[in-house]
Structure formats: C-alpha cells, structure tokens
Structure 1
Amino acid sequence: MAEADFNLSSVSSLFRTDGRSAAVRHAGIAIAVTLAFLAFHAARGFPTLTDSKGDNDSLLRLVQVRDLLAGQSWFDLNQYRMGLEGGFEMHWSRLIDLPIAVLILTVGETAALVIWPMLLFALSLFLIIRATHLIGGDAAILPAAVTGGLALLFVNVFVPGALDHHNAQLALALGTIYAMMTALQAGSRSAASGGAAAAICAALMVAIGMEAAPYAAAACAVAAGGFLAGGTRNVTVARWFGLAFAGTAALCLGATVPPQNWFLVACDALSLPQTTLAVLGGGGLALVTFIPSLSRTFAMRLSALVGLGLFATFVAVSAFPQCLGDPYADLDPLLRRYWLSSVTEAQSLSALIDARGYSTIAGYYATPLLALMVLAVAALRRGFTAPALVLAVFLTLAVAVSCWQVRGGVFSVAFAAIVLAAWIGRLRIAALDQRNLWAQLPMAAVWLLSVSLLWQAVGAAAEPKTADLARNSDLAEPQQQSWCYSLSDLAELAQLPAGTVLTISNLGSIVLRQTGHRVLNGPYHRNNDGNRAALDLLMAPPADDGRGARARGIDYVAFCPGNPETVALAHWAPAGLAAVMLDGSIPDWLEPLTGSETSPLQIFRVSP
C-alpha cells in the first residue's frame, strides 16, 4: 500500500504548478494528450479521412472552402451546385472558412483536414485544464487532462476531417467560461481583460452560428448578474464585457456581410437582428456602468438592468418578430415530417426516450446531470464561489438546451468534465492524506462515473436488441449494406461528365465533395425547394416515364440500397421510386451504368 501511495504522490508531483509556469505546463499537457489522440487516429489509418460517416457538414464545409479558394467572393455564400438551378445561400460564416483556407494554402488539403480539428482539440483541452485548475487546484490537473480528453473524444467533433463549426464553437464556449471565471475570481487582476476576452469569444460563437446563441446569452447573464451584485471588480467586468461584446458583433457583421445586406434580416445567421441586440445589450450594459447614479445601489442597478432588458425586448418584438418563433417555421411540411423528424442531432430528450435510445441518453446526459448534482452539493456545503457560479450557469443552460435538442450535449458533456475533474481532485487529496484503500475507492468510482463513454456502453446494454432499419428490412439485400459514406464509393460517379444527380439527402454533400456534379438536395433547411423536389421524385411512383426527373434536369440517379434513408423512403412511400428500386425493379427510363447490382452506390443515367 505504501508503494501505491508513493506512486500516486509521484504522479501528482508531475502536475504541480506555480503561478509563473502554470499556463505553460497546462499547454504542454494539452499538447501531449492531443499528440496521443493524433497517434490513436494515425494507428487506425485516419479512417475518418476516407469514410465521412455521414458528416455532411464537414463535407460541405470543405466544398465551401474550395469554392472560396477557387475565386468565389468572400461575401458570396451561395452553394451553386446544390438545390434548384442557381443554388441557394448557405447560413454558414466565413469566419470558419478563413483559417481552414489558410491551412490548405500552407500545408495542403489533407494535412489541413488533420491539423484544424487537432488545434481545436488542444485549445479546448487546454481551457478545460485551466478552468479546472482554477477551482480544483493542482490535484485536479491530471483528472482534467484525462476526463477532459475523454469528453472531447466522446463528443466526436474533433476527429480528423471534422470541419463542422461546432468544434470551434465549443472551443470558444470554453474560452468564454474560463475568461469569465478568471475575471470574476476573488483577488483577480484580470477583471477588464477577462471580461473583454469572454465577450469576444461569446460574440464570435454567435457570428459563427446561431446554435451557440444560448451560451452567448449565458455569458451576458453572468456579466449582468455580476453588475447587479455590485463591487468594483464586477462592475469592471460588466463594463468591458459590454464594450467588447457590442464591438465584436459589429465588426463580425462588417467583416462577413456585404454592406448592401447590413439591414437585411436573417434569423439563422449573423445579421441585423443579432447585431442590433448585441450592440444595444452590450453597449447599454457598458453605459450604465459609467453612470455612477445607476450603479451606486442594488435598487438602481436592478432598475437599470430591467430598463435595458425591457428596451431590448421591445426592439426584438417590434422590429424582428419573425426571429422569435419556430426557427423551422418556413420549412415545407413534408420536409418537416420526413426529414427534420429524422435528424438525430435535432431530437429532443423526450423523443430519445420514446425511441429507447438509451445509449445516447446515458452518454449525453449522465455526466452533465452528475456534475450539476456535484455543484449543488458543493454550494449547499460551502456556498458558491464566483467561478463555480459561472460553471453552474453555463452547465445548467447546456443541459436545458440538450433536452430540447441532443446537439446541446456536445457542450454540456465538455462543461461537465471541468466540474467532475475538480471533484476527482478533491478525492485525490483525501486519498493521499488518508493513505488507505478505502479512501481511494470513492476516487476510483468517481473516475469511472466521469467517463461518458462508459455511460454510453451501459445505455447500449439496456437498448432493445434490434438490428438497424436497413438490416432489418426485407427490402434490403444482405450484401447491400454499405451506407455509401466512403469517399471511394463515389469513384465511378466522379468519372462521368458533369450533370445533376438525384440521390438521398445524406449523400448530397459527399457528391459535391468528390465529384463535379450538382445535386438537388442536402440536409440544409435553407434548401427548401430543392429538398422538396428531390423528396417528391424519390417518393412518387416511377410510372411517368421519367418526365418528372427530366423536368428537374436530372442526368443521373445515384442509388444506395443499404443507406437507412433509402430504406426509410421505401417504408414511407411503398410505391415510390426508392421503394421500387430497392425491390430490384429498375424503371425503363433509367440506364444502369455500374454494371453491378451489388455495387455500394448504383448509378443510373436518365434516358433522353
């Protein structure tokens, strides 16, 4: 036992830091874990570089960056090769395209696909370690490196090839949390710089994508709450947060939206409504901190915040009412029924429960809820410190968002790692002090309870033992089970003269990534008309001699029998084109080009 205690103490000494070297040591640890993460993927041959696993957003992001490098205007976000003739405007931000484009120009496309997510992984882990050290001390650094690294591995947004903007938003959210924790910590000298840094990260999150708006709102609430509580430090944080938030939002609008569109309203991307509220809210918060009469007493501070909130609400309701309702209100009802309801990341907790998706539920909800319990118990025993309160606000909101849409779990799992690592750190201290096996058992248990991957495995064991829809369907042949997400599956299609391809929505992005063709559909809500047109063609009976396909300019049909979306379409429309082809009956107006019915992706030319 003494030998075990000695080893534990020796390992702990490797992670002790002082004020001068802490950041450097933490960065070194984050880099070391990142290199281990990279080695793990390298040992497996970087499978995510050759098999997209259906990561449509990363595929289309690369297409968008390629278009930018090929000369498409910085302000032109149209995706011309998807949708009806002329394409449609994407709601993504050039702020993500820029660093990826620079990397591609510097090191090449393949290396950039690896380096970009690895950089964000290292940054995210560094911020987790820094935030954990702030509340848990040296003893929590090792747990932060391990649980934080496993949490980032679990959320699956940092694998090689992951260009989707959610990884950058997560890194910025962690930056917001750490900066705000540092700014509000008792005795901190970083009130101004921390408040400004938190605001810059929060504003960038929103500029990149509206799904991060709740976390920017959490940062605003923390800054406003600090101002309400009073005190020189809190007022300083609020002042610099407000100024930086307003300024960064305005700069992002100017940098990513052409001047002629500054006054246009887009509810799903940075535009006039979001920038107006950021300038009003941030600027207003900063303004009241400069007026002594409005910040002198609690009553006056409360009155100022209520007045500011009412004014911002009035502006939002009166000027931008269209942005206050269902974000998918304009989505075609057929797409809402057959597409949106099947998007996994958009599912609610209640939908997951109904579907008995216990592995997803356990993986994405267990550690965040456990972390909330830890924070609650700590608050009851010792009261809330400012950094712990910041964590509680962000984690509570992230859990609430994940109950609405499971994609919020990407944030809540990462936030929870900070809390749980700090808890393990306290138990490590107790284990070292008591030096007996019984003191180390609770620590070992919490180590296990802090790993979402283990929770996911437990949930999977409780799930009904049913096969995938494609495998369970009597329409799908056993040998046709490829989902056609491997880049090599598109090789034959890429050799054909450029044309318009009809395929399922989950193959739209990979067709653009691997070929010079255009497609009607892809899993993007702004492509309302193109998605509806493709759905109509795939679900309609094929007895029109191909007139519908020709009217839409379709040159090829790329058919993947093993993809679950194909099987679902056949289930929804048993007499439709997808069902008929899945049953092996090829309409006369389709000419097979692959020469093999067992090819993963079957290609047909529409006859003239």
Structure 2
Amino acid sequence: MTLWRVPRHGRTMPASLLRQPNIAILVALVWLLAALALLVQFWDQTAETLLDTDDAMRLVQMRTWLGGAGLFGGWFDLHVTRLQPPEGYDSHWSRLIDAGLAGLYSIFRLFADQAAAERLMRAWWPLLWLLPTIAGMTAIAWRIAGREAATIALLLALVGVPAYQQFTPGRIDHHNVQIALTLLVAAAVVWSDRARWIAAAAGALSGFALAVGFESLPYLAVCGAMLALRSVADAIAARALRDYGLSLAASAFAAFLVSVPPWRWETPACDSIAVNGMAAAVCAGLVLALAGRLAHPQALTRALAVAGAGSLALAVFLLLEPRCIRGPFATVDPAIWPVWHDHVRELQPLLAVIKSKPLTAAGIAAFPVAALLAGIVLAGDPRLRRDFGFITAAAMFLAAAGTTWFAIRGYSYAIWLGMPLVAALAPRVFELLRLRLLAAKVAAGLMLTPMAVSAGAITVAHATGLQDRDSFARPESRHCLLNASYAALAGLPRGLIAADVSFGPYILALTPHSAMAASYHRLSRGIVGAHRALASPPEQAREVLRQSNARYVMTCGPRPPDGLAEPARGRSLWGQLQAGRVPPWLEKVPDMQPLAVYRVRS
C-alpha cells in the first residue's frame, strides 16, 4: 500500500510546469518588479555604506583574491594579512562566492571603472539570487495546491518585504545564496516523485550548498530524510533515492575538492565543509544509493537501510571530530563567548528577543506563526496528510521555524518556506469567504503577505504598550558605518587599529589600515585582545596595545563594546574616552568625525 498519495494536479510536474508559460512569465515578472523596486530603494545606499560586516569582509576577501597570485594560483589562499596581525586570519568562507562575485565584477568592468563596477556588482548579486529563490518557492506552492496557489505565492513574494532582508542591493555575503539553494533543493525534493532527474538535481544542489556553508545543513538533512522515508513507504521511490544518493556523494566530494586545500584535507571542522563533513555526506549518499539499488520488497528492510545510512553518516562525522556533537561552534575558543559571541544578534534565540525587543520579535514571528497555522489547517485534509509534497514542504518549514526559535537567523528561511503553505491555504480561504472577483482575491491575498502580517503584528504589539528596549539603533550610530566616515582615517599613515570588532571589516574594506579584530568566531586572539584594549582600565589597556603594536585606537557612537557591563564601563578605556578623558599616552587625531581616532604615543 502506498502511503504517499499523488494529487491529480500537476501529475507530471516538470513537463506540466515547464509547459505553463504564463507561470514562467509571472515568475520572471515578479522577480523583475521586486528587483527594480529594491534597486530604486537601495541604489543610493550602495554608495553610502557596505550595509553589514559580512558584506564588507566579503568585499575584502574578493579584492584580496583578485589582487593576489592569480585567480587559480590563489584559489585556496584565503589568508587575510591585515586582520589580526602578525599571524593574520584564514577565512573559512567559500571561494565559490568570491568566484561568482569576481565574474559579475568582470562583466561590469567591461564598461565601468573599478568603483562603479564594484557598486554594480554589489547591487545586482543579491538580486540575481532572488530569481531562483522565488522560482523555488513558487514550485513548492504549485506542487502542494496547483496553479492558483502558485500564483498567490508570487503575490506573497512580490509584497514579501521582510523576506528581502538578505536580498537587498549590497548584500554580497553567503546568506542569500544559501537561501536560494535551500529553496531549490526543497522544490526538487517535493517534485522528486514526478521525474527521475529531479532527485538527482536535489543531490547535486545539496553538495553545492554544503560548499557554500553549513547554515543550510538542517534543511538539507530534512530533504534527504524525506526522500529516504518516501523510499521506505513506497518501493517505487527507490530509483529516486538511488539517483539522489549518487548525486549527493559526487557533489559533496567535488565540493570538498574545490573548497579545501590539499594541505588541510586531513583537518576536520564543525563550521564548514572539511574531511568529516565530506566523508559523512559521501557515506550517506552511497549507502542511500545502495539501498535504492537493492529496493528490497520488505518495508522494514528498507527502513533499516536508510536508518543505517543516517547513523553511519553521523558516526563518521563525529568520529573524525567528536567535539562537533556540540554544534558548529564547538571548537570556538570559550574566551570569546562572553565578550562577543553571546551578543551576536543573528544567533539570539527568539525568546531572548521577545524579552528585550517585543516589537521586533512580533515582526519576526508573525508570518512564521501564520504559516504554522496554515500548515495545521492544511493537515486537516486527509488527502494532503498522505501527500509527499505537502509533508516535505511542512517538514522543511518546521525545521526553519525551529531554527528561528533557537537562533533568529533562521527567520529568512521560515518566511520563504512558509509562503507556499500560506499560498496553498489561500484558495480555500477565498472559497470559504465566497470571493469570486479577481480584485477581491487580490485584496485578500495582500492581507496574507509577509509585509501585511508583520506590520499588523507590530501594530497590535505597539497598541498593547510594548516597546523595544536595549537598542543601540540611534541616529548617530548609523554614521559609524558610512563609507564617507572612513575617508579621513584612510589618509593617516598605515597602522594597526584597535576598535570594536564590529568596525574591523569596515576598516579593512575602506582604509589601508590593519584591524586587530573583526566579528568572526575563528579570530579568538584578536577578539579577546580588542576587547581587553577597550574594556580594561587605561593603564592595562596601554599594555595590551603595546604588546599588539597597535598604532591607533578608534571608537564611534554611543554603543559600548560587546560584553562591557555597566559597572565596568566608566573605568574602562572606552568609558574614559567617551567622557572626554584622554590618557596622556594617547593623542586624539583631529578632524576624524564621526569617528574618534587616537594615536598611541611611542
């Protein structure tokens, strides 16, 4: 007996969907409208600021590569000499993103100067990745509830302003790429019961996603698990599992080869692809492929085979690096947790945000909660409860919602994976309300968009008297991240700057100076050193700066360094400088506003 039911609509999806030119045109049109709207809204901002520390650091990494020992000669050289000198910093970010950015930059360089080409690259890179994201999300909605749901999903995407957080012009870090790949993998899996090549595509895209980063690992694991479970419930699905397993093994191995230099092939890692992650993915893929090839008629035997694949993968991963059982940050120096890591915004659990910033939390949680309710209502349909596509889409969303509960950086995934569920429920709501006119359906659909749902939740929360607190988003702080603010600093003689970790990437991207630290968890010595320099009393700070050969100290705005508690602020070097009490061994450099720059006297 088959547990996964094939709904009548879209029975042969790849062919039927590709034969729907109107949907393809709508996807392209929605992407174009969204991209143009974002470009108009944020184009000026791309000249004013690098937006985020990761965007600034990605630009530094790409520039360093292009200015180094050639594109291929320096492929594995991810060393940043100006960060945490004298040893520098070995980045674990994927060179594949640098390659994509460099390719786009080279195209724009054909008709623009360096500055303009960089700006165009930074503007268009996230917008290009928005297209596959919208396409993947729409394909999931189509698979669950057909053409009308896909059309509504496009409406949700068009007015899905909160979902664009990682796709605004200027966002050149890896988050938008990982979201796009996750949506494509999810779409491939929910359609894997329609054509053989779809499962193989899911495996190949999963390997690519692992090469880009481990942020999407929970969602990739859910996709693989759903394919495995389908093969247990339905022996006919064994061929798809075989294709997926072989493709996953091959792509994971290829990702390892292009991401890890030969001299680090034996070094495991918990936060990026390394020998343990590659070996686990390859073992899982091969065992799943073998299980699919054998296709034993007994469901229990098939279940034991796929369970063995998962167990073997986990065992291999942990055997090569047992500490990874504690998560991706298991090998992080404990010293940086209280002074920086515990304060990283994107890693804050939703409950902590609810307590300190209830309005922000309302905006974050509103649409995922709406999607959760939509999924619960849809699960009341016996047909959908047996539909592989719906079960997979719901499982993916639940993984994203769970991730958001523990770390709010899962919020973007929860929105994109929640939209298909809301879109699938919308036609039923229209039918219940007896909406017949297109205008009425559009108006009702607009009320279901992420922007409307989030805005409504924030309005209700505000009306109840809730207010955000512990916020440093003050007007004067914004100037600390503007490109123009670093122009005068760039003109000073080169030297090492001790500053809060948040400013490190901007110092590297906008000046020729070196930075003691930046906001990356593998920079333990630099992060601890920068914190001690700013958080210690002046005489102790002087010794820290002397040992690190720092030439300048930089502060900006009212926000204190992370981990600097209230009682110690007044006694710290940072607190003394904020109060205008400059120790005699520091000399304030004039005309640096809004930055406050101090030269360390010999």
Name the TM-score, length of structure 1 as normaliser: 0.87
Q: Secondary structure at the match of 2:168?
A: coil
1:128-156 per-position Cα deviation (integer Å, ceiling 9, x unaligned): 22222232323224421221233364450
Q: 2:118 corresponds to which letter in structure 1?
A: E
Name the structure 1 match of 2:489: 493
Name the structure 1 match of 2:246: 243
- Flag structure 1 segments of 5+ consecutive residues without an equivalent: 1-16, 473-478
Name the structure 2 match of 1:607: 601
Q: 1:257 aligns with which of 256, 260, 269?
A: 260
Cα offset for 1:453? 4.4
1:408-445 per-position Cα deviation (integer Å, ceiling 9, x unaligned): 11101110011112222343456677569999997675
Inter-CA distance 181–544: structure 2 relative to 1 (3 Å threshold): closer
Name the structure 1 match of 2:190: 181
1:536-595 per-position Cα deviation (integer Å, ceiling 9, x unaligned): 110111135934312211111221033454895666532111111111111222222234
Name the structure 2 match of 1:476: none
Distance in 1 (alpha carbons) for counterparts of 2:150 and 2:262: 47
Name the structure 2 match of 1:14: none
- Higher mean C-alpha deviation, range 122-131 or range 313-322: 313-322
Q: Secondary structure at the match of 1:122?
A: helix
Name the structure 2 match of 1:336: 337
Name the TM-score, length of structure 2 as normaliser: 0.88
Name the structure 1 match of 2:112: none
- Higher mean C-alpha deviation, range 545-554 or range 87-96: 545-554
Q: 1:397 corresponds to which letter in structure 2?
A: A
- Flag structure 2 segments of 5+ consecutive residues without an equivalent: 1-13, 109-116
Q: 2:505 aligns with which of 482, 503, 509?
A: 509
Paired residues for 1:187-226 under 5 Å: 188=194, 190=195, 192-226=196-230
Distance in 1 (alpha carbons) for counterparts of 2:287 and 2:482: 51
How many residues align? The count is 575
Distance in 2 (alpha carbons) for counterparts of 1:128 and 1:463: 36
Query: Does structure 2 conserve the Cα–Cα contact (< 8 Å) formed by 1:430 and 1:439?
Result: no
Distance in 1 (alpha carbons) for counterparts of 2:343 and 2:246: 41
Query: Does structure 2 conserve the Cα–Cα contact (< 8 Å) formed by 1:371 and 1:416?
Result: yes
Cα offset for 1:323? 1.4
Name the structure 2 match of 1:406: 408
Inter-CA distance 262–394: structure 2 relative to 1 (3 Å threshold): same
- Higher mean C-alpha deviation, range 19-28 or range 138-147: 19-28
Distance in 2 (alpha carbons) for counterparts of 1:238 and 1:593: 65
- Higher mean C-alpha deviation, range 376-385 or range 108-117: 376-385
Cα offset for 1:211? 1.6
Name the structure 2 match of 1:3: none
Name the structure 2 match of 1:171: 180
Q: 2:142 corresponds to which letter in structure 1?
A: H
Cα offset for 1:165? 0.5
Inter-CA distance 491–247: structure 2 relative to 1 (3 Å threshold): same
Name the structure 1 match of 2:417: 415
The answer to whether residue 558 in structure 2 is matched with residue 557 in structure 1 is no
Query: Does structure 1 conserve the Cα–Cα contact (< 8 Å) formed by 2:178 and 2:216?
Result: yes
Name the structure 1 match of 2:382: 382
Paired residues for 1:435-450 under 5 Å: 446=448
1:235-272 per-position Cα deviation (integer Å, ceiling 9, x unaligned): 12211111111110000111121223222111111001
Paired residues for 1:98-177 under 5 Å: 98-107=99-108, 108-151=117-160, 153-177=162-186
Q: Secondary structure at the match of 2:191?
A: helix
- Higher mean C-alpha deviation, range 134-143 or range 485-494: 134-143
1:64-87 per-position Cα deviation (integer Å, ceiling 9, x unaligned): 111111125110112221114121
Query: Does structure 2 conserve the Cα–Cα contact (< 8 Å) formed by 1:499 and 1:555?
Result: yes
Cα offset for 1:468? 5.7
Query: Does structure 2 conserve the Cα–Cα contact (< 8 Å) formed by 1:567 and 1:579?
Result: no
Q: 1:309 corresponds to which letter in structure 2?
A: G
Paired residues for 1:198-597 under 5 Å: 198-232=202-236, 234-292=237-295, 295-355=296-356, 357-383=357-383, 384=385, 385-428=387-430, 446=448, 451-459=453-461, 462=464, 464-465=466-467, 470=472, 481-543=477-539, 546-563=542-559, 565=561, 572-595=568-591
Distance in 1 (alpha carbons) for counterparts of 2:600 and 2:263: 42
Q: 1:280 corresponds to which letter in structure 2?
A: C
Q: Report percent identity of matched pairs.
A: 26
Query: Does structure 2 conserve the Cα–Cα contact (< 8 Å) formed by 1:58 and 1:163?
Result: yes
Q: Secondary structure at the match of 2:173?
A: coil
Inter-CA distance 509–457: structure 2 relative to 1 (3 Å threshold): farther
Q: Secondary structure at the match of 2:379?
A: helix
Cα offset for 1:373? 2.5
RMSD (Å), alpha carbons = 2.9
Inter-CA distance 328–21: structure 2 relative to 1 (3 Å threshold): closer
